[in-house]
Amino acid sequence: MGDGDLGPMAFRTAAMLSFPRLAGSEGEAKARERVKVALKAAGLTVEEEWFYCGDFAIRVAARWAMVPTGAMLLAAALLLKSGWPAAAFVLALASFLPAAYVASRAQSGFRSGSKRPAYRLANIVGRLPAGPAPGPAVILMAHYDSKSQTFPIWLRILLFIISAAIGGALVVLLSACAIILMLGATCFFAPVILPLAIALFAVSLSFLGNRVGNLSDGALDNATGVGIICEIAARLAADPPPGLALRVVATAGEEIGLCGSLAYLDAHRAELDPRRTVVINFDGCGRGRVPSVLAAYGLPRRRVPAGLMQKLDHAAAENCIPLKKIYIPAGMATDLMPWRRAGYNGLDFIGPAYQSHTPADRISLVNERILADYVKLGHELSRALSSRF
C-alpha cells in the first residue's frame, strides 16, 4: 500500500458513511454494518460490543449548563444593587459550581441514570488476526454517529467561551464590589455589573434554542475519522510492529454524550493498564491546510503528555508534515476525554470542521491530501508506540 493510495482509500470509506446517522436511527444501524465491512477489509477481526445509554448529556446538560450560573449571577447583581453586598458575595462565589459540575461530567462522559435507557448501541472493535500481543496497547478511536444542531459547532464553542469570560469577569467584579461596599467605601464600577449580568443570562438562555436533529451527513464529523483509522489499521495489519496490541474502536453515541467511549472504557478498564495504553482519537479531520492536534483543552489547561507529543512531533518531522497545535478552553468534548480523566495517555487529532452539526457537512468538503497526512501521522505514531514511551 503506497502513500499515494492513502488519501483516496480513506476518502472512499468516509464517503461510504456520509449520510445522516443520529444514534438510534436507521442511518446509525446502516453505518454500523458498513463500519464492520470497512474494518474487515482492513484485515482485522471484528466484533460488536453492545451497551445501553441515555441522552441526558445532549438534550438537557448541554442546553441548560449555563442557565443556573447566569441566573445566580443576575440574582447576585440585583442583591448588590439592592444593598445586600454580603449575600451578593456568597452567591457570586457559588455561581460557577453548576457550570463546573456539568463541564466536568461532559468531559468524563455521562452514564445513564435511568432504569430504561433511551438507546441500545454498539461499538465496533477490530483487532489484528494474530490475537492479543504482549506489548503496549494502542487504541485507534473514532466515532461513527452524526447529528445536526441548531447551532454549528463554532458558534456553540464561541458562546461557551463568551459565557465563561463574562461569567469570570462578573464573579471578580461582584466579589470586589461587595467587599468594597462592606468596608463602607464607594464602588466606582458598580454600574457595569447589572448590565453584564443581564447579558450573561441572555446568552445562557440562548443555549436552550440549540436542538438536536438528524439532518447532517457528518462527513467531517466524523466519517473521515473512521476512514482514517481503517487505513491506519490496514497498514499496521499488513506489517504489524512486533508486540503491538492494536485495537481499533469505532464508537457509537459520541454525539449524545461520549457514550460509546465511556462504555468501552468501563468494559475493558481491568485489562488495559494505563501505563501501557495510549488512545489516539480522530474527530473532525478532513479540512484545512495542515493536520491539527488538540494540544490542550479545558480550564485549567490539560495538555497532551510531553513524551507522547514528542513522538508525534518526530513523526511529523520525519514525514515533512506541518502540524498545527490548538487549544480549546470550553464548549466541546471528545471520546478521548473520559480516558484522560481515568489516567490514560492519548491525544486527539481534530481539524477545523466548522460545518460540523449542520446540513452543510458533506463529503464534497473533504480534502483527500489532508486525510493522507492524518493516516501517515497516525501510522507512524502507532509504530513508535510499539515500544514503551
203 pLDDT above the threshold of 80: yes
Distance, CA of 170 to CA of 165 (rounded, Å): 9
Amino acid identity, position 353: A
CA 69 to chain centre: 23
pLDDT digits (tens, 9 = 90+) for 319-348: 999 999 999 887 788 999 999 999 999 999
Query: Residues near 270 by Cβ (< 8 Å), separated by ≥ 6?
Result: none
Residue 213: C-alpha distances to residues 117, 155, 381 (Å): 19, 17, 36
Q: What is the mean pLDDT of residues 36-46?
A: 96
- Domains of the chain, residue spans: 9-54+113-150+212-384, 65-107+168-209
Q: Is 296 helix (H, G, I), strand (E, B) or coil?
A: strand
End-to-end alpha-carbon separation of the chain, Å?
27
pTM, two decimals, is 0.89
Q: Is 231 helix (H, G, I), strand (E, B) or coil?
A: helix
**Mean pLDDT (the chain, rounded):** 90
Rg of the chain over CA atoms, in angstroms? 23
CATH annotation of 9-54+113-150+212-384: 3.40.630.10
pLDDT at residue number 152: 84
Pairing of strands 324-328, 292-297: parallel
pLDDT digits (tens, 9 = 90+) for 349-364: 998 888 999 999 999 9
Please report, rounded to a whole number, the percentage of residues in the chain having pLDDT higher than 90: 74
388 pLDDT above the threshold of 60: no
Residue whose entry in the numeric block shows the C-alpha cell 445566580? 72
Distance, CA of 103 to CA of 106 (rounded, Å): 5
* Sign of the dihedral through C-alpha 330, 331, 336, 338: positive
Q: What is the mean pLDDT of residues 137-147?
A: 97
103 pLDDT above the threshold of 90: no
| CB-count exposure of residue 270 (10 Å: 0-12, 13-18, 19+) | exposed
Q: Is 319 helix (H, G, I), strand (E, B) or coil?
A: coil
Q: Is 141 helix (H, G, I), strand (E, B) or coil?
A: strand
The C-alpha cell that represents 274 in the structure block: 494505563
| CB-count exposure of residue 22 (10 Å: 0-12, 13-18, 19+) | buried
pLDDT digits (tens, 9 = 90+) for 278-304: 999 999 999 988 999 999 988 788 999
Contact 77, 194 (CB under 8 A): yes
Amino acid identity, position 135: G
| Closest residue by Cα to residue 146 from 229, 56, 256 | 256
pLDDT at residue number 107: 59
pLDDT at residue number 115: 52
Query: Residues near 33 by Cβ (< 8 Å), separated by ≥ 6?
Result: none
Q: What is the mean pLDDT of residues 40-60?
A: 91
Name 346's bridge partners. 279
Residue 223: C-alpha distances to residues 35, 145, 274, 283, 304 (Å): 10, 8, 28, 9, 24
pLDDT digits (tens, 9 = 90+) for 108-140: 666 654 456 789 999 999 999 876 666 789 999
77 pLDDT above the threshold of 50: yes
pLDDT digits (tens, 9 = 90+) for 221-251: 999 999 999 999 999 999 888 878 899 999 9
Distance, CA of 227 to CA of 115 (rounded, Å): 35
User: Is the previous residue joined to 132 through a cis bond, with omega within 30 degrees of 0?
Assistant: no
* Sign of the dihedral through C-alpha 228, 230, 233, 237: negative
Q: Is 256 helix (H, G, I), strand (E, B) or coil?
A: helix
Distance, CA of 93 to CA of 329 (rounded, Å): 21
Contact 238, 268 (CB under 8 A): no
pLDDT at residue number 242: 83
Distance, CA of 323 to CA of 241 (rounded, Å): 24
389 pLDDT above the threshold of 50: no
